[in-house]
Amino acid sequence: MKNLISKIFVIVSVMLITVSCKKSEVVPQPENPQTTVNATNVNVVGVNWELYSGKVFVKNLDNNSLTSYDHFGTSKNTSNLDAFIASWIPFDIISKGMTTWKWTSSNQFILDGTSSYNYNVNTNGIFNVYGLENSSSRIIEVLKSTSDYMHVKVYESNGNNGTNNFSFYTVLTFVRSGFTGTPVTYTTPSGYGYSGVINNPTTTVTSLVGTKWVVTKYVQNFVSYYPNDTLDFVSNTQYKIGNSSLRNYVLSGIVGNNMKSLSLYSFTTLGGDWSGQVQSTFINDWVVNNAVFSDMFNTNTPQARMWVKRIQ
């Protein structure tokens, strides 16, 4: 009888251990779980985005110090995504209130309303814009997007100032075209000290040769026009409008002020020969804003105010 009780005890113990083991079984987890896209972000495709502000975040790889800068300030409206070596790629040259981005549903990325590149998007919602002028690409990570603004991380790279090695990236804030409010400011990551507006290098150009510009707007007789004509300066004396025939131009300095005179002959955008004064730094600023042009041979023709943006 005693042996029978012992056998029953052993059987019951084994059953309890088996049940206990089944209840405590842990389902193995994947080693690299897939990152989930922020479900609160609004789809940015199909929207015309205008650049509102930008910050660059720099890490000193020699002493691990962290520094943040603004791309723009009260006297600086143009900057470069490369904090150490000026990039000539149009994508990398940014202008506050002028640079525009648009992703189309047909996988085209439109820069400044004129230049078109291909893009794809990976499973984490990060865009890859490729086919730039030097056959390179740019990775764009949308950190936050609403129906009115978005923060994007772009141009993550490395650099050297001749003394130290650095890593850096930029966060740009865009607003939807037509939005008149103030977007939420991007929160600077912990540990970054602020050092004002970055004094990054710029590409100095003194000639129009090889540059292309788009006449984005002009105002005449209080009426606004948006021609989007492309001006291609092929030599020191000749330019083309789109794919048209060559025509003449003159760019010269003006004694007594910090301006230059730009005369455009056969300028069909305005219908004749027109001349105006522009800032002497306009080539490197990549923009002409609200410049007054006059018909050179007909003083009765109303003046026109022009907005022109460099695209190459």
Using one digit for the tens of pLDDT, what is the confidence trace for 2-34?
Answer: 454 455 444 445 444 444 443 333 333 333 333
Of the pLDDT bands very low, low, confident and very high (cuts 50, 70, 90), residue 35 is: very low
Of the ranges 225-234, 260-269, 278-287, 300-309, which one carries the lowest mean pLDDT score?
278-287
Of the ranges 15-29, 113-127, 274-288, which one carries the lowest mean pLDDT score?
15-29
Look at residue 203 in the predicted model and tell me its pLDDT.
Answer: 53
Residue 37 has pLDDT above 60, yes or no: no
Mean pLDDT of the chain: 84
Of the ranges 111-120, 245-254, 259-268, which one carries the lowest mean pLDDT score?
245-254
Model's pTM, two decimal places? Answer: 0.58
Residue 188 has pLDDT above 60, yes or no: yes
3-state secondary structure string across the chain:
CHHHHHHHHHHHHHHHHHHHHHHCCCCCCCCCCCCCCCCCCCCCCCCCEEEEEEEEEEEECCCCCEEEEECCECCECEEECCCCCCCCCHHHEEECCCCEEEECCCCEEEECCCEEEEEEECCCCEEEEECCCCCCEEEEEEEEECCCEEEEEEEEEEEECCCCEEEEEEEEEEEECCCCCCCCCCCCCCCCEEEEECCCCCCCCCCCCCCEEEEEEEEECCEEECCCEEEEECCCCEEEECCCCCEEEEEEECCCCCEEEEEEEEECCCCEEEEEEEECCHHHHCEEEEEEEEECCCCCCCCEEEEEEECC
Of the pLDDT bands very low, low, confident and very high (cuts 50, 70, 90), residue 196 is: very high
